[in-house]
Amino acid sequence: MTETTSKQNLTVAACHWEKDVYGYMLFNVLQLISYLACKLMLAVHFSLVNVFRTQFVERVSDPVLNQLLDKLLERGVITDGEMQSVRTGRADKARDVMDTVRRKGSAASSVLISALCEVDPVLSRELRLI
């Protein structure tokens, strides 16, 4: 093996090593960016739900609440027991629905928002959800 061939092999090996290291670092950076974006989206989502909770409780009608409960049960967000344990009275029922769904996380909250947009588009626009 000549000295030139040996240097070329070392250069090629160094390039592969460098590519592996940079590829690994890039992968970790992309994972971090993805994680932070997800956390930011969750924070925005939860603040949206918290802001819109008061307006939702004040404005939602009892028939809409019943339809929302049906959709949440149908989509597996709440159980039959949770549906039955919702208090009577429009405002208390609205609080129970909102709090039960909010405790289940952003995916459940998204289902609630989606169901509300389907069931009552007028209220959804007033709450600036669509």
Collapsing DSSP to helix, strand or coil, 40 comes out as helix
Q: Which of 95, 129, 99, 109 is nearest to 42 (CA)?
A: 109
In the predicted model, residues of the chain with pLDDT beneath 50 are none
Measured between alpha carbons, how far is 128 from 126 in angstroms, rounded to an integer?
5
Report pLDDT for 127: 85
Kindly report the pTM of this predicted structure: 0.63
Report pLDDT for 107: 87
Is the CB of residue 55 less than 8 Å from the CB of residue 116?
Answer: no
pLDDT tens sequence across 69-94: 999 999 999 999 999 999 889 999 99
The residue ranges of every structural domain in the chain are: 3-126
Amino acid letter, 104: K
CATH code, residues 3-126: 1.10.533.10
